[in-house]
Structure 1
Amino acid sequence: MSEKKKFTMEYEIKSSPRILYSFLSESNGLSEWFADEVSVRDQVYTFTWDDEQQKAKLLMLKENKLVKFRWIDDDPEYFFEMEILQDELTNDVALAVTDFAPADVIEERKLIWDNQIEYLIRVLGA
């Protein structure tokens, strides 16, 4: 497996952390924007896109703050994480996405995340 590099992107989301968190952590919320279908069993999420499945283990869950996964077929040091950030002064909410990809596909992976988060914002009506 080729060496992967970590990257993080941040998106402004006009939503409460509680509502946003449900779209990041619950199978029915994730299936509205992240994958065509999502099921969960024993902290393993099965994501389905166009009849193709990929499984991810839930590594960490912090209510209204953070969801962290690792793809089952990936090296243990790689993960993807969605963290809800809220500005203490303005209460503005942002979503920070951290992921890993080989250097030659990072830009492509960022575009995929941009599209997915854009879709999430539409689903949230934010």
Structure 2
Amino acid sequence: MSEIKSQKKQKYTLEFEIKSSPKILFNYLSTASGLEEWFADKVNIREGDYMFQWDGTEQRARIVARKENQMIRYKWITEDKSKDETFFQFEIQQDEITGDVALIVTDFASDDEKAGNMMLWDSQIHALMHHIGS
């Protein structure tokens, strides 16, 4: 009998140049209406939790860290009460000299999920850029 090992999720980051002010970009990353523009089909806030809907399925996340116009971190809320330390985070960095704005996405995935997840983020962030006009 073979033993099935669950793969530990590894942290990875992606960086995108966004032609937007940090304030406008942060609105798209932190509000239900902004997230609905590019991230999920429908977003509701219930009891402080964000309810994301895609194709009839729903996932719940909670904001666990936030710095206005700089960073927001979400943690998925699951039925599994294990010590899952994963999250997804959006960080906005602006170059002091050039004024260029970068969006850094941090997420977690197992080795076999990573490439697909990175492609999904790339697609989602390009949808965001389209909505912003970047």
TM-score relative to the length of structure 2: 0.90
1:29-64 CA-partner distances (Å, limit 9, x unpaired): 000000000011233100000111001111011100
Equivalent positions of 1:55-66 (< 5 A) are 55-66=60-71
Task: Name structure 1 gaps, 5 residues minimum.
Answer: none
Q: State the match for 1:52 in structure 2.
A: 57
* Matches of 2:27 and 2:129, distance apart in 1: 13
Equivalent positions of 1:8-87 (< 5 A) are 8-73=13-78, 75-87=83-95
Indicate the larger mover: 35-44 or 94-103: 35-44
Secondary structure in structure 2 of the residue aligned to 1:31: helix
Paired AA for residue 32 in structure 2? S
2:103 corresponds, among 95, 105, 125, to 95
Q: Displaced runs of 4+ in structure 1, greater than 3 A? A: none
* Matches of 1:72 and 1:105, distance apart in 2: 19
Percent identity of the aligned residues? 48
Paired AA for residue 49 in structure 1? W
CA RMSD across the alignment: 1.1
Secondary structure in structure 1 of the residue aligned to 2:38: coil
Secondary structure in structure 2 of the residue aligned to 1:32: helix
* Matches of 1:43 and 1:91, distance apart in 2: 33
Equivalent pairs counted in the alignment come to 126
Alpha-carbon offset, residue 86 of structure 1 = 0.4
Paired AA for residue 88 in structure 2? F
* Matches of 1:76 and 1:63, distance apart in 2: 26
